[in-house]
Chain A
């Protein structure tokens, strides 16, 4: 024991008596101390909380890594549409103007023939 002034007899005796009183605790007290110790050890501890924190951080990192990998596998974006493609898109699109154009194809053919006749 690290005692700076244990050369004094009364102090040496005092410390010895204190230790004697601690060593001589009754069985009921020791039993309660044992239960207290077991209860303290059975509770969740700082180490466990730290482990769960690390596991959560690992899971987040894994999700991010998977997200980045999926993004790399996606096809490149389409090229800008040309003028002809715009006409085709207009013909095949679902809007009403395209439907009317298809329905009046005979009219446009007659109009075209009339223009050729006028020129001829």
Chain B
């Protein structure tokens, strides 16, 4: 009797589960649609190449859906950025290894938090952001963001552009909340100096 009831209940549960999955797939697709453009730009600021940036975002999407689709929708944001942040770090490691082998030293070490060259203002920087036309201002901003060490740039983009709170940013960057505040404070100081101090 009990077994019959169990067997009768399975198709109904399957239908419910299927409906939930379809609804879930729609929610995940909507979520990915809302973040994919910012994800590409974030990756591109690190890689400086659009193709590599799209590849990283694609990898991040695959890993995110495979591992975290079952989580609550409220957790998706920090989890996706965490996956992408991890992919960006992997990309930089591969570049460093490749750079060692090729003897290519043109690109500075992104992990060097206290690199004075990275922190120094660019003499070709076009001037205060507020006075520039959009195209020039975008170029100045791009240049300033690319010159930031990776952790500072990620803290700035996740915390201020993506709008994650300090705890969520720390989860996405796999570091403490104190580290997030430090990275963000340094990033703001550097950017302010480059984009605002010429007024």
A: residues with CB less than 8 A from B are: 1-6, 8-11, 13-15, 17-23, 25, 29-30, 32-33, 36-37, 39-41, 43-48, 50-51, 58, 62, 65-66
Contact = CB atoms under 8 A, between A and B. Distances in A.
A95 to B, nearest CB: 46
Instruction: Specify which of A19, A22, A43, A65 lies most central, judged by the most chain B CB atoms within 10 Å of its CB.
Output: A22
A40 B58 CA distance: 8
Contacts of B70: 45-47, 50
B69 interface: yes
A46 B21 CA distance: 11
A39 B127 CA distance: 43
B61 A36 contact: yes
Contacts of B67: 46
B66 A33 contact: no
Given A15-B160, A37-B33, A10 B134 contact: no
A25 B65 contact: no
A47 to B, nearest CB: 5
B134 A17 contact: yes
B195 A10 contact: yes
B107 interface: no
Given A2-B163, A40-B64, A14 B141 contact: yes
B50 interface: yes
A99 B56 CA distance: 88
Given A8-B196, A17-B134, A18-B41, A36 B54 contact: yes
Interface of B: 2-3, 6, 10, 17, 21, 24-25, 28-29, 32-33, 36-38, 40-41, 50, 54, 57-58, 61-62, 64-70, 128-130, 134, 137-138, 141-142, 157, 159-161, 163-165, 188, 191-192, 195-196
A1 B62 CA distance: 27
B37 A10 contact: no
What 10 A-B pairs come out closest when comparing CB atoms? A36-B58, A40-B61, A10-B196, A46-B70, A22-B37, A40-B65, A2-B163, A1-B163, A45-B69, A22-B41
A53 to B, nearest CB: 12
Contact of B129 (A10, A20, A43): A10
Contacts of A40: 32, 58, 61-62, 64-66
B128 A41 contact: no
Contacts of A25: 37, 40-41
A11 to B, nearest CB: 7
Nearest to B25: A41
A93 B167 CA distance: 84
B37 to A, nearest CB: 4
A22 B138 CA distance: 12
